[in-house]
A and B are shown apart, each in its own frame.
Chain A
Amino acid sequence: MARVLLVEDDELLAEMLANVLMDAGHAVGVIANGEDALRSIVARQPDLVVLDGHLPGMHGVNILEQLRLHPELWRMPVLMLTASTGRLDEQIALHAGANAYLRKPCDPDYLLFRVDDMLAFRSQLDDSRRVERRVF
């Protein structure tokens, strides 16, 4: 089980995605606006963030950029979820540090696959760092 923070302003979509993630065994928190998002991420330190691209108060990419500058949380896995269909938006998000980029409407199974994949990768990375620390 992982703690997933969902930053999404569409209440119906947020609740639906939260149900999908909870059914898969994850604990889910939901934040509806950009201004609260970064503060909440810092305070709650989730295992993974699902971040909407367009939020009231702040663009998702701006939140991502701030997160990547944070001294402790810069490695946090972030999946950007956006209704934008433009290729440029995807490039901007990935360049800003998104670990994955999904377009709405997204397939619930694929969302879960990406979430689990990102969590597994993060876990392997943490394991290898622990080994490195023991060896060196």
Chain B
Amino acid sequence: MSQPSHNLASPGSWAPAPAAPGSNLVARFEERRRDTMQLLEAFSAADCHDEARFAELLHRLHKFAGVAGLFGERVLGELAARAELELREAAPAERAERVMALKSAVRVQGAV
């Protein structure tokens, strides 16, 4: 099933008119940031062996990394992008150590 196009611009239109760009976008980014950091902070070593939960963490990191730089969170975004790649390539036994390293790096940035 195909997804609808964003309401930003209808498929036949070249005249997009976002209702309230600035604050709305920032609030949505802050929500994404908060959800990602909360998931990461709560992520345990046991979660690293739960494939569904691990996939959810990768998905959240991916989505966060994609936008962070546009909202002034370049360092945190690059951390998330690099961590996503490393976690995807890591053997299951290495995941917990890499997640802990990411948590430490994120704490240094003051994100949690």
Q: In the complex, which residues 1-44 of chain A have their Cβ closer than 8 Å to any Cβ of chain B?
A: 3, 9-20, 22, 27-33, 35-36, 40, 43-44
Residue A71 CB within 8 A of the other chain = no
* Measured CA separation A103–B63 after assembly (Å): 13
Name the CB-closest residue of A to B86: A85
User: Does B92 have its Cβ within 8 Å of any Cβ on chain A?
Assistant: no
C-alpha gap A118/B21 in the complex (Å): 27
Docked pose: A20 CA to B69 CA in angstroms:
13
Interface residues in B, total, Cβ within 8 A: 35
- In the assembled complex, which residues on chain B have CB atoms less than 8 Å from the CB atom of A9? 3
B60 to chain A, nearest CB (A): 12
The answer, among A19, A44, A104, A105, for a CB contact under 8 Å with B21, is: A19
Complex contact A15–B25 (CB within 8 A): yes
The stretch of B39-47, B49-57, B73-81, B101-109 that contacts the partner chain: B73-81
1/0 contact trace for B68-107 toward A, CB 8 Å? 1111001001100110110000000000000000000000
Interface, chain A (partner B; CB < 8 A): 3, 9-20, 22, 27-33, 35-36, 40, 43-44, 56-57, 83, 85-86, 103-108
Given A28-B8, A31-B5, 18 further pairs, Cβ under 8 A? A3-B14, A10-B67, A12-B29, A16-B67, A18-B8, A27-B15, A29-B14, A29-B16, A32-B6, A36-B11, A57-B3, A83-B62, A83-B84, A104-B65, A104-B69, A104-B81, A105-B74, A105-B81
